[in-house]
Structure 1
Amino acid sequence: MLLLYLVLLVLNSAITLAVPPKFEGSDLQKQYLVTDIPGLYENIPEDKIPLMFAGQLPIFPDTNTSYFFWKFSDPKKTEYNHNRTIFWFNGGPGCSSMDGALLELGPFRVNPNLKIIYNEGSWHHAADVVFVDQPPGTGFSTTDGEHYLSDLDQVRDYYLVFMKKFFEIFPSDANNEIYLAGESYAGQYIPYVADGILTRNKNLTSEEKPYDLRAVMIGNGWISPNEQSLSYLPFCYDNGLITSANPQFSNILQKAEECQKIVDKIDSNWNDIEVHGYEVDTGVCEGILSDILSATTQDDKCINMYDFRLTDSSPACGMHWPLELKYVTPFLHQDEVMHDLNLQTLVRWHECTGRVGNKFRARHSVPAVHLLPRLTEQIQVLLFNGDKDIICNSMGTLNFLKKLEWGGNKGFGPPDLEEKYDWIFDGSNSGYIKSARNMTFVNVYNSSHMVPYDVPKVSRSLIDLATGNFDKNETAYITYPLGTKREVAPLKEVANLTETTTSPTSPSSTLSPSSSSTSTAETKGKNEPTSNRITRIIQLLVILVILWGIYALYASYRSRPSSIIKKRNVSNSTTGTKKKNVQWADQLRRFEDELDDFVPSDSKSGFLTRTFNKLSSVVGRDSSRGNYAPASSHFTDDIELQGLNDARIDDFIIGSDDEEEEGEEEGEEEEQEQEVEEEQPLSQESEGTKKSLIDEPSDK
């Protein structure tokens, strides 16, 4: 039985054994290549492992300003996905795009063991996706303390510098179709960055090429702040979250009336180019939501403002959500993860950085809603909302769209003529759509403030809506699971097709079904992760070493000394049960969070790891992972991060109770010697044992 177990263990090891993706790019690209991450080869199928690049890209070295990015690419390029790049923004301001990467649309989620698992709805199968931490100081991005940004035009300018330097590292990506996507406060970032790209394209130098920006995709966007806040009371009322019988209802209604006056004043001066304080000051209107949450709190439980189907402890009201954040935070705190992501400046990751948000007030920038009309003149604008979100709800989005004029008309048309279509994805009604003159609104059913978190596969099909990859009839837009609408030829088979790229400055007048544009494609087969003969030989050698190690351990187990406890041949003697005393002395390496909320735990060592450690007398794990861009050995003073404690050893001591009876047994030996001629002597061996073993710290 033991032999069968060992054989199965070896077979499992051989199946899960993998090598980093083979990549033959430039030396500069290899500095950012990600070759490992906890759980990658253990939990991710080999054919699902993406080609990854990550690191802190310096944009202004003199101020220590860098933007951290994590790029995911599907090695199996097809006609459908080979020439697209999506840049993803999370909001805040000051919230990290690692939320998007590890909680929403990236290829990975994090499990309770602080290892990645596969996300079936990852967007990287439809396009390369680049998650960027910005503005400076957000997430893993860095800057000196005096260089936090405060306005949206600065965000635009910094991001264009990042894109320039990013395309210097990945020059072929500069020829891709570009999509800007994000959520929440990204509703302010994205229109500004998109407008900056389009303006750049009109003012190129002789050495510059235009960026092929095709569309922006904004989810639950904070686009027109005061208009959004004005929707809180009617939205909550319509969804039964508050009633007129609530004792605080009249007070909330009075505050909503004050907000309405501010919105009316904004509307009356809509075309002013001057930035008015009453428009950028959102304090009065934002207070409506706080009052609603307070008025509906019961037994210290309040509504989750990001998903009203849920509750949270008061006054958090959603700040502890999503629940998986408790895994993402300690996962990104791990030293090995920071090394895997090629961090040159080690910083302690926070989902949202308060210093960035406090500095960023946007008092000198008009709200991004003013930029949408001119964006629709050149690109598609797709706005989508999860229908269970309160803070950036669908009613608020529709309210400002009704009043917004673009393409020569206001809104989607008169209410009696406004067209509304079902959105059918994979045969199910997943939402509804309104679309006109390059502006599309999508209400996504059964989803929250973070749509890809709740419905990842459905959310990925939003890309189809933005690119025209859908069918349409009199009542519905119809999209399909990835790759099922039509057969998609592998990239090598379409490499010789004639380029028929649509100009980004001349989009169709409305969202309409179309085939993906085809273009002459570079054959990137050499960049695909493969296993050649040498790799297979190395794998075979590793398996042989594993077999040898298992055999050595088994032989050691069979040959270990045994203790035969002497029994007294006395009729009235009793045999007591021997118990072992176990003492633990844990010394774990930990980070100290500034909020004392999450503490990472070391990953649990497997059977094979312990086997090799036993044979080689090595305790712990080498922290070096991969050969690219090793991180510095110190932490910067201006970023909150404690030093690391290198102690990682558990002392495991077993003390035997047999020693307590040693004296008693010696006294009985004299009595037994008198009977030696009458009785067969009993064999005696070692009486008590005391062992000191060293083992690795275990995970929960």
Structure 2
Amino acid sequence: MLPSPCPVLLLSLLTLSSGYLIKEPKEPKQAWGYVPVRSNASMFWWLYYADNPTQNFTKFPLIMWLQGGPGASGCGYGNFEEIGPLDADLKPRRTTWLQAASVLFVDNPVGTGYSYVNDTLAYATDLCTVSSDMMVVLREFFKSKTEFQQIPFYIFSESYGGKMAAAIALELHKAIQAGTIKCNFLGVGLGDSWISPLDSVLSWGPYLYSTSLLDDKGLKEVTTAAKKILDAMNKKQFKLATLLWSKAEDIIEENTNGVNFYNILTHESPSKVAVASSESEMFPFLKLFQRHVQYQHKDKLSDLMNGPIRKKLKIIPDHVKWGGQAQNVFMNMAEDFMKHAIDIVDELLEANVNVTVYNGQLDLIVSTIGQEAWLRKLKWPNLKKFSAQNWQALYACPESTETAAFHKSYENLDFFWILKAGHMVPADQGDMALKMMRMVTRQSH
């Protein structure tokens, strides 16, 4: 059961600074709660109503944001580091998406963020379980929040969240057709998404070489590592492919002096982790987790979520630590990790669901050329017409003369090339990300 709607809440969080207590600014209207998705698993959601000084929230769309990992928390990282109303210092974010949408953060899969399982067998191991769990959440959400049933609803995502978003979008479309969920679903946004892991991996060498981060010798080593992954994928040895992926990243770090997988121009690499050597079979997965999920649970954010925010929410069970089950979430999805979801995107396009792909120019882990590669594999009949379109230059604001992005669109497929952004587009280019969201949700821009 969902709790009754929360009233407009004051943040009432007090931070200590130089011995003085400072009261933070008033927050927008919001609500949160748990949905038991299975007998031994519960999912946490956090809704912020659109916060515009001149218009009611009903005039704006509702966006559900899904983080990556799997195991990274949208209620934490997406909220306080990317698009929520406050940053990790609890200061107002100038480019919050609440200016133009209500935002629903959901910690998924179960075990992520504040979501939890009571049984180790309850973790999701594939996209099918991830999607079916989310259908329970959305069914309960729209049944409880009837004011959102007619409002345009979009799913936006990042990284592995994009793979989950594609699968969830398809199941939601089917549920709406079947009449089991009542909502006005209008499209899905796939941001720097792990739709085709193999295409991403095969792009690493050429991308790094073209940006002078590999020499001939390094390119040869990375290419050899990528071919081993390709061979494992062709043999449907998906867990082995994930292990080989970890080794390929080691080779990249050695050859590039620790390039940042999430933004090649950022020197402080979150992927450069100190991992004790281990003979354990799970060691490569642990290293992958530490590279790609744990940095999103950095100390400052973890302290915030397990301290002031936990106190504010008041409903987090005593045994649940924010992010405490994330490692298990990641490990349980290891078999599914390298499988692609290109066919799911094809089904969405065929079903006439609006699909938006957006990618940061400086992202390595999910490089833009890798995204373009899987796009070319679509069986969608309109692909040639999409490809033939001229892309259009975009500017972050009317006064700007600097190109911030390029955009191409045909029928129900859009692609945004976001310049000077890495893996976390809203964190790197907040103005352009906000503009893109307005364009996707058919708002004036």
Query: 1:220-257: CA deviations, max 9, x gaps?
Result: 1011111111100001111111121x4x4433232234
CA distance in 2: counterparts of 1:223 and 1:340, whole angstroms: 36
> Contact 2:206–2:219 at 8 Å: present in 1 too?
no
Partner residue in 2 for 1:192: 167
Q: What is the distance in 1 between the residues matched to 2:227 and 2:298?
A: 37
- The structural deviation recorded for 1:42 is 5.0
* Partner AA of 1:191 in structure 2: A
Question: How far off its partner does 1:437 sit?
Answer: 3.0
In structure 1, the residue matched to 2:393 is 422
- Structure with a larger share of its residues in helix: 2
Task: Name the counterpart of 2:280.
Answer: none
The corresponding residue for 1:253 is 223
Going from structure 1 to structure 2, the CA distance change for 1:355 and 1:424 (only over 3 Å counts) comes to same
Per the alignment, residue 124 of structure 1 pairs with: 98
Relative to structure 1, is the Cα distance of residues 303 and 281 closer, same or farther in structure 2, using a 3 angstrom cutoff? closer
Tell which deviates more after alignment, 337-346 or 251-260: 251-260
Residues matched between the structures, number: 414
Q: Distance in 2 between matches of 1:75 and 1:54?
A: 17
The corresponding residue for 1:337 is 309
Note closer, same or farther for the CA distance 1:372–1:93 as it changes in structure 2 (3 Å cut).
same
- CA distance 1:426–1:366, change in 2 (3 Å): same
Q: Secondary structure at the match of 2:69?
A: coil
Corresponding position of 1:295 = 255
Residue 278 (structure 2) aligns with:
none
Distance 2:326 2:181 in 1: 35
Residue 172, structure 1, aligned to residue 147, structure 2: yes
- 1:182 aligned counterpart, secondary structure: strand
TM-score, normalised by the number of residues in structure 1? 0.55
Secondary structure of the structure 1 residue equivalent to 2:372: helix
What displacement does 1:28 show?
Answer: 1.6
Q: Give the corresponding residue for 2:367.
A: 393
1:360 CA displacement: 1.7
Deviation at 1:292, TM superposition (A): 1.2
CA distance in 1, matches of 2:228, 2:412: 34
Q: How far apart are 1:102 and its partner, in Å?
A: 0.5
The Cα shift of 1:296 comes to 2.0
One-letter code of the match for 1:294? Answer: E
- Per the alignment, residue 273 of structure 2 pairs with 316
Structure with higher Rg: it is: 1
Question: 2 CA distance for matches of 1:150 and 1:44?
Answer: 40
Match of 1:67 in 2: 43
Matches within 5 A, 1:132-281: 132-145=106-119, 146-204=121-179, 208=180, 210-244=182-216, 246=217, 248-259=218-229, 276-277=236-237, 281=241
The alignment partner of 2:386 has SS state of: coil
Q: Counterpart of 1:122 in structure 2: which amino acid?
A: T
Mapped partners of 1:319, 1:432: distance in 2:
28
User: Equivalent residue of 2:404, what SS?
Assistant: strand
Superposition pairs for residues 538-687 of structure 1, below 5 Å?
none
Letter paired with 1:50 = P
Write the letter of the residue equivalent to 1:368: A
Query: TM-score, structure 2 length as denominator?
Result: 0.84
Quick check: 1:86–1:178 contact (8 Å CA) kept in 2? yes
Is the Cα–Cα contact under 8 Å of residues 172 and 181 in structure 2 kept in the other structure?
no
* Larger displacement relative to structure 2 (180-189 or 418-427): 418-427
**Structure 1 residues 283 and 33 mapped into 2: Cα distance closer, same or farther (>3 Å)?**
farther
Contact between 1:149 and 1:360, CA under 8 Å: does it hold in 2?
Answer: yes
Alignment RMSD, CA only? 3.1
SS where residue 110 of structure 1 aligns? coil
State the distance in 1 between where 2:46 and 2:184 align: 21
1:338–1:371 distance in 2 versus 1, CA, 3 Å: same
2:11 is aligned to 36
2:420 counterpart (446, 459, 473): 446
Matches of 1:169 and 1:344, distance apart in 2: 20
Deviates more, 1:182-191 or 1:34-43: 34-43
Q: C-alpha offsets along residues 42-65 of structure 1, whole Å, 9 cap, x if unaligned? A: 56555xx311212333333x32x2
* Paired residues of 2:67 and 2:160 also in contact (CA < 8 A): yes
Q: Which amino acid aligns with 1:140?
A: Y
Cα drift, residue 466 of structure 1: 0.9
Q: Distance in 1 between matches of 2:334 and 2:385?
A: 29
CA distance in 2, matches of 1:219, 1:364: 17
Please list the CA deviations of residues 475-525 of structure 1 after superposition, one character each: whole Å capped at 9, or x if unmatched.
xxxx4xxxxxxxxxxxxxxxxxxxxxxxxxxxxxxxxxxxxxxxxxxxxxx
2:411 to 432, 437, 440: 437
SS for the counterpart of 1:56 is strand
Q: Report the Cα distance in structure 1 between the residues aligned to 2:109 and 2:72, rounded to whole angstroms.
A: 9
Query: What is the aligned partner in structure 2 of residue 459 from structure 1?
Result: 433
